[in-house]
Structures are given as C-alpha cells and as structure tokens.
Structure 1
Amino acid sequence: MASILALDRARFAREVRATVKLALPLIAGQLSAVGMSAVDVALAGHYNAHTLAAVAVGANVWVLGLVSAVGVMMALSPSVAQLDGANRRGEIGPLFRQALWLAAGMSVLLWFGARHADPLLHLIGVDPALLADVQAFLHALSWGAPGLCGYFALRGLCEGSSWTRPTMLFGLFGLVVLVPLDWIMIYGKLGFPALGAHGSGIANALALWLQLLAFAAYLKFGRRFRDLDLFARMERPDWQAIRHLLWIGVPMAVTLLMEAGLFVISALLISRLGTVAIDGHQIAINVASVTFMLPLGLALAVTVRVGNAAGRGDASAVRWAGFTGVALTLVTQAFSATLMVSIPHAIAHVYSGDPRVIALAAQLLILAGIFQFSDGVQVVANGALRGLKDTRMPMLITTFAYWVVGMPTGAWLAFGAGHGVRGMWVGLIAGLTAAAALLFARWVTQSRGEHWRRFSLTPYEAVVVESQATDGRSGV
C-alpha cells in the first residue's frame, strides 16, 4: 500500500510539474492581453473622458465578436494535441493549413460584424454624443480581424504541440508595440494627426497584424516545426477538416459568448444603478479579471495535457491530467480568495479615493472572493473537456448555468428584491457555481466512463473509420 501511495504521489508531482510548465507562459500571455486593454484605457483616459468612454464602449462590443472568433479557433489546440499524442505529426501541418482557411473565414465575419454594429449600439442605448467615435473605433479595429484570427491559429498550433513559450513572447510583444502605437495615434505624435478613439482602433489593428507577422516569421525561420513544412504550400480548403474544426469550435465560441454576455449584460444592468454602483462594480471586476488569468492559463494547459493523453489512448493519463488541473486551480483560487477577503478596502483604495466607491467595491470584492473557487473549477473542467473534444454538452451546461440560473437570479435580486449591485453579484455567484458543479460532474462522467474515445477522432481517422464501416456493411 505504501509503495502504491508513493507511486501516486510521484505521478501527481510529475503531472503538476508538466502542467505548471505549460501554464506559466500561458498565464503570462493572458496577462499581456489584459495589459493591452489597460494601455488602451489609460492612454484614452489621459487624452479626455469622451475618448475613454468611446473606447470602453467599443471595446465591450468588440469583445463579443472576439470571443466568438477566438472560440472557434481554439478548436485547433486539442486537435493538434491529440495528433501529437498519437505520434501523427505528419497530419499536423495539413490540419494547421486548414485552420488558416478557417481563420480567413472567421476574419471576414468578425470584420463585417465590427463594421455593422450600429443596431447593437442603438439597442444598448449608447450616448448619441459617443456614437460616431465608437463607430470610428470599431471600423478601424475591424481591419485587425485577420491578424487576430491568424494569431490564434498559430497559438493553437504551438499550444497543442505543448510549446507555450511563444504565447508569452508574442503576447508581451503585442503589449510592447501597442504602447507607442496608441501614443502616436491617439495623441497625434511624430507628424500624425491626433485621432482619439479612432486612433486607438488603428493602433490596436496594427498591433494585431504585427503580432501575427512576427509570430509567423518566428515559426517559419525557427527549427521547432521545420519537419512539418507549415508554409511550404497551401492546399485547397478541405471541407471535412474544416467541418471537424467547426464541430469542436462553434460550441466553444457559444460557451465563451454566453460567459462574456453574462458579464457584459450584468454591467449594462448595473449602469442603471448610478455612478457609485458602476465604479464599484468595475473595480471588483477588474481585480477578478486579473486573478482569473491564473485558472485560465491552467485550463489552457490542461486542454493540451488531456488532449495529448487522449491521442495516446491513455485513459489513466487523461484522468490524472484533468484532476491535477482542478487541484492546482483550487490552490491558486485559495490564494486569490484570501487576498480579496482579507484586504478588500486596501485593494479598492488603489483604484479610487471616493469613500462610497471604496466601501461598495470592498463588499463586492468579498463576493468575488467567494466565487473564486467556482470560477476556477468551471474554467478548468471546461478546459479538460475541451481536451477530449467534448464541447457540445459544456455549451448547453454554461448556457443553462449563466442564463437560466445566474442572470435571472441576479436581475431579480438586484431590481426585484432591491439589493442593487450586490444582488447582481449574488446572481453571478449562483451562475458560476452551477456551471462549476455541472461541468465537473460532466468531466468525472466522461473521464471515468471513457466515453471520450468517440470524441477523439480527427477528420482523417473519421475517414478511415467510416470507410471501414461501409466496407463491413457491404460485406467486403
């Protein structure tokens, strides 16, 4: 018995090391994305309040399209991880090039959506004084859509191959290039006119393209994927491969959209409660968003670990990867929760000097501390299921948890029961807790029952299996 326990501890330690090694660069890359948003807010805010408001509204609208496109592109990572685990590297290059075709299609949709967002802007009641600048910001940023989608295709290739350092490097690269670009285009430096919100959109579009081009050059001239001939040719679209990526990716896009929509709509509802409520909510959400990068990075790493194990057909490794990820996120979330609950006033004071805002933000930070565990478990369990290419049931679960449990509960407590912004946050806790419980239960069922094997077929395996089935029916 002692020897078995020792072996289990050793295996757990190995899995922890492997997961953390993958996750740390991913966390840094995600924090870089948060940093890019912070740069936009800071430079726009120092220009003038009008520009800050226009950029903030435009960014919220852009996020809805962004998470949809990124969700679809995230299908590449588990697909590559499974091929890599199955020692079928020769199929990674062709699949990657099909993902580039998919990225091109998603770019067109994102570009079109950003340039035709007027109905949504009117629906959410954007101040008419801001409308022109919000539109200018979105129109300029829309030209960055190909850069964004292509960048995530490259990320999916690298992350699925258990190589996460480029995510960190080019995330930081994007942050570094955005600072001078924002400064030049918003304020009108180096001979350029001052363009305000429009300039911020141009700067972000340029940064996205520079990220893509630098990343592509790094892969083309590097040694890591030289055997794959990634850019040696470009096949015609293989609709079967693209359909397979969409089959995995569209549910992920809906899942991300449901979660992003929950927080965006919550913010819009809270905006009816006055300036203090808006500011307090924004502070608490900003803090929670930063701490969320820890479990998100772990979730992305767990997707790769689970996918690689599934590709090998190793059921035991699949379970170890998923449950180790959940254990790690409980540790990170315990740290975040302790911080929020123990010094909420000190954290709020960093953002505001208004005593009323600090008092409300401190209360919300305590609530944020409470949902740290459910938020961490839901994102890591979802990441583990992604590694198995199980994305449709998680889509239904998150839709139910956020929009049948979370939003109605929060809206009723906030406006029906008169608890204001605190009531809306209790609704967020309810939705995230429901999602965590249901997604974790789904993971336990799928990993232990090995139902995941039917999800692990790649497009190329599917051809073989279907052909064999047809031959069997025809008596060949």
Structure 2
Amino acid sequence: MQLSAYTREFGKNLNIAYPVMLGQLGHVMVGLVDNLMIGRLGAAPLAAVSLGNALVFIAMSMGIGFSFAITPLIAEADGANDLEGGRSYFHHGLILSTINGLLLFILLLVAKPILYYLDQPPEVVELAIPYLNIVALSMLPLMAFQAFKQFADGLSQTRYAMYATLLANVVNVVFNYLLIYGIWIFPRLELEGAAWGTLISRFFMLWFVWEILRRKTKFAEYFKWSKKEMLKWAIFKRLLSLGLPTALQMLFEVAIFTATVFLAGNLGTNPQAANQIALNLASMTFMIAVGLGVTATIRVGNQVGLKQYRELRRIGYSIFLLVFLIEAVFAILFILLKDILPVFYIDNIEVISLAAQLLIIAALFQLSDGVQVVILGALRGLQDVKIPTVICFISYWIIGFPVSYYFGQADKLGSMGIWLGLLAGLTSSALLLYFRFNYLSRKLIRTKESILIN
C-alpha cells in the first residue's frame, strides 16, 4: 500500500485529535501551574507536590482508564446508527464513573499514611499530606467529568471537553495565584492554596461540560434519562469488562512513573525535584499521544460498527505513523532545549543540571511512549483489553521496573538509571502491542473474507 494511503488520513485524524490533545494538556497544565508557582517557594515544596501527586496520579489514572470504556462502545453504536444503545452506554457509564470517583476519594484518604513509610524526606512528607487531603476530593468532579468527556469523544465531538478543560485551567491559575501567595483578601495557604485551586477548577469543569452538552441539539436525545427499572446489569457488566482492564493498563504505566518519584526521593530532595520537572515535561508531550490514542479508539470503533476491517487496519496504521512523526519532533526539541526548560521551574543549579540529564532519556522514549499509547487506543476500539493489560504489566513491571530499581541506586547510575528502566519498559510495550494489533486486524480481515467466499 502506498504511503499516501496513510498520510491522507492525517487531516481527519488531527481534526478529531487536537481538541483531545488540548484537553489532556489542560489536565497536565493543572500540575504545571502548581509546579511553577510552588517551585518559587523552594525545592522542598516542589518535591512535596510531586510526592502528593504521586498517589493522586495513580488514582486518577485508574479512574480515567476506567472511563475510557465508554468511548469505544459509544463509537461502535454511532457507527451502527444505534441511538438507543449509545444512550444506554452513556447513562450507565456516568453512574459507574461517579461511583468510581467516590471510591477513589476514599482510597486516597485511606492510602495517605503510606507516604510516611516510603523513606522520603520528612519535611517533604509533612508538606504533602495537607495538599493530598484537599486534592483527593477533586476525584469526585473529575470522574463525573470524564464520563461526559468520553461520551462526547465517542461521538467524535471532542472539542466541548477541550473548552471545559481550558477554561478550568484559567480558574485554576486565578485561584492558585490568590491562595498560594495570599493576594488581596485571600489567606496565604502556599501548597494548600494550590490544592484548593485544583479542587475549585475541577468542579467548574464538570459544571461547564454538563451545561454545554445538554444544550446542544446533537446530544439532546442522549440526555433523555432512563427510568430506574431500565438500568441493566448486562450494560454495567460490559462497561466493567472493558473498564477494569483499561484501568489496570493505566495503573501499570502510571505506577511505574510514580515509582520513579519514590526511587528519586531515596536519592534526596534535589533529585526528586529534578525528577518531577522531567516527568512534568514528558507528561505534556505524552498527552499529545493520548489525543491520538483516543482518535484511534473512535475511528477503529466506528469501523468495527461498520464491519469495514481493511479500512480499520489502514486507518490504524495512519494514526501510528502520525504519532511517530510528531513524537520524533518532540524528541529533537527535548535534546536541544534540555538546559533551558528546567530553568522555568526553579533556580536551583543542581536541580536544573539533573533535570537536563533526564530530558535526554525522555527524548529517547518519546517515540515508543507515543506509539504504545496509540496502539492501546486502537486495540481499545477493537474492544481487546485483556491481552494488552498483560502486555503492559510484563513490559513495565517485569522488564522496566527491575532496570529502574537496579540502576537507580546512588552507587550506580542514580536518576539516569531510573529513567533507563522507563525507556526499556515503554519500548517493550510498543513492540508487543504492535504485534497484537497486526495479528487481530489481519484475523478480522481473513474471517470476513472467508465468510463472503463461503
């Protein structure tokens, strides 16, 4: 097949993906704003935000991963022109996501004492606990928001969640400024001020997306809620069968990145602060790939509904190629700007030097990280989640983490060794997931053609 068969899809892919990219970047921007504003208070407060968010990101990844189950089901129903089925998936998904938000809030409150037993700097833990108490509550509005977002994404209407997220970032910046530094009539709360800014902005985000979606004609039929007796366990079960493995996929990946926070904390406050800077920058480029991953889920899910499997394969590969090219650009930029980017976070020379070293490795795993998340999205569109979950576990925890743990010791490679483990895990994941998509897409084509022949 000629290259143009793939490149001609780039425009449509980006049209769906760019609002998701900006929306996902909006989530990361909440952390970026916290880091930039808190970094001016010193290395210990910055490390505390990193430590507190380590647990939050684990919970958030599980919740967001779970909500991803809504998108392929909505996309398949949309492709098959099944309005009633799509409405049912939306309603059931919103109920499950809201319950999930409550459970994650409770989980974070129960889990926070773990921070005292992770061999972290004591002053960092003392600062992180109050921050975590407040941010944990934001799981409630965030998970409900995710249900609305994934529903709209499944209908290829990705821009509304973007609007909500970007406006929520403005709200976050304003309240951060007022509450961290004690501007005007507001108290100076420092880290806790950043946490309140996050909480307020997420409640605003939920309200905004609900308000804008319910007023749009395209969504009107979906907002006709079912009566209680019309709720079906079979729908809940299907969402759970897709959502739980997807949540585990997200957990395995985010957890290994979170493990780098703890491993870096064992090396000291400055290495932990440097690790947070590099993670935050890498997270922003990762969210570009997440946007294309959602695009893969939507477009592959549509083709499943249409039963057009050759098109499914071609579209999938067009998105893989696109993310590879985009991430290659980011890799080059990370290398060229490695000594400049950390300066925006902090003025500590040692932290800046360590972060610059980590950005070299972050540049190297841009390609595999981007490709693996997009292939995961395509497999999600095929509603294939169990085997990819096993692949993620093997890649990150059987291959990647042992490398990080061994080479991340102070008497070996230190912070660089920790990130070499990330590179190994992500590269393994990308290769294994590629083989999985190649196998399944070929199998679908052969099966359909065999049926037609017979």
The secondary structure found in structure 2 opposite 1:162 is coil
* 2:372 aligned with 1:381: no
CA distance in 2, matches of 1:59, 1:195: 18
Which residue is equivalent to 1:28? 22
* 2:302 aligned with 1:308: yes
Runs of 4+ in 1 over 6 A off after TM superposition: 451-454
Match of 1:40 among 30, 34, 37: 34
Which residue is equivalent to 2:75? 81
Q: Is the 8 A contact 1:70 1:253 kept in 2?
A: yes
CA distance in 2, matches of 1:343, 1:135: 34
CA distance in 2, matches of 1:361, 1:198: 26
Q: CA deviation at 1:302?
A: 1.0
Q: Describe the shift of the 1:451–1:104 C-alpha distance in structure 2 as closer, same or farther (beyond 3 A).
A: farther
Match of 2:334 among 329, 337, 340: 340
Q: Describe the shift of the 1:418–1:290 C-alpha distance in structure 2 as closer, same or farther (beyond 3 A).
A: same
Match of 2:363 among 359, 362, 369: 369
1:159-181 deviation digits (Å, cap 9, x = unpaired): 00011111211110110111222
Which shows bigger deviation, 195-204 or 12-21?
Answer: 195-204
1:433-462 deviation digits (Å, cap 9, x = unpaired): 1101101111111111129999xxxxxxxx
1:82-108 deviation digits (Å, cap 9, x = unpaired): 110111122211221111210222022
Match of 1:426 among 408, 412, 420: 420
For structure 1, list consecutive stretches of 5 or more residues without a partner in the other structure: 455-476
Q: Is the 8 A contact 1:310 1:453 kept in 2?
A: no
Q: Is the 8 A contact 1:147 1:208 kept in 2?
A: yes
The code of the aligned residue for 1:163 comes to Q
Q: Describe the shift of the 1:237–1:135 C-alpha distance in structure 2 as closer, same or farther (beyond 3 A).
A: farther
The secondary structure found in structure 1 opposite 2:77 is helix
TM-score, length-scaled by structure 2: 0.90
Q: Is the 8 A contact 1:414 1:424 kept in 2?
A: yes
Which residue is equivalent to 1:459? none
Q: Describe the shift of the 1:325–1:255 C-alpha distance in structure 2 as closer, same or farther (beyond 3 A).
A: same
Q: CA deviation at 1:236?
A: 5.7
Match of 1:144 among 127, 131, 138: 138
The code of the aligned residue for 2:113 comes to P
Question: Identical aligned pairs, as a percentage?
Answer: 31
Q: Is the 8 A contact 2:296 2:381 kept in 1?
A: yes
TM-score, length-scaled by structure 1: 0.86
Q: Describe the shift of the 1:103–1:447 C-alpha distance in structure 2 as closer, same or farther (beyond 3 A).
A: same
Which residue is equivalent to 1:112? 106
The secondary structure found in structure 2 opposite 1:116 is helix
1:27-49 deviation digits (Å, cap 9, x = unpaired): 11111111111222233344676
Which residue is equivalent to 2:265? 271
The code of the aligned residue for 1:138 comes to L
The secondary structure found in structure 1 opposite 2:408 is helix
* 2:436 aligned with 1:446: no
CA distance in 1, matches of 2:348, 2:30: 26
Q: Is the 8 A contact 2:34 2:176 kept in 1?
A: yes
Q: Is the 8 A contact 2:167 2:205 kept in 1?
A: yes
CA distance in 2, matches of 1:306, 1:259: 23
Match of 1:226 among 220, 223, 232: 220
The secondary structure found in structure 2 opposite 1:419 is coil
Q: CA deviation at 1:303?
A: 1.0
The code of the aligned residue for 1:68 comes to M
Which residue is equivalent to 1:465? none
Which shows bigger deviation, 282-291 or 148-157?
Answer: 282-291
Q: Describe the shift of the 1:453–1:112 C-alpha distance in structure 2 as closer, same or farther (beyond 3 A).
A: farther
For structure 2, list consecutive stretches of 5 or more residues without a partner in the other structure: 449-454
Q: CA deviation at 1:222?
A: 1.7
Which residue is equivalent to 2:253? 259
Map 1:395-474; keep pairs closer than 5 Å.
Answer: 395-415=389-409, 418-450=412-444
CA distance in 1, matches of 2:172, 2:240: 31
CA distance in 2, matches of 1:452, 1:238: 34
Match of 1:92 among 86, 102, 113: 86
* 2:209 aligned with 1:215: yes
Q: Is the 8 A contact 1:262 1:403 kept in 2?
A: yes
* 2:284 aligned with 1:290: yes
Q: CA deviation at 1:318?
A: 1.3
Larger Rg: 1
CA-based RMSD of the aligned residues comes to 2.6
Which shows bigger deviation, 50-59 or 317-326?
Answer: 50-59
Q: Is the 8 A contact 2:403 2:418 kept in 1?
A: yes
Number of equivalences: 448
CA distance in 1, matches of 2:310, 2:113: 50
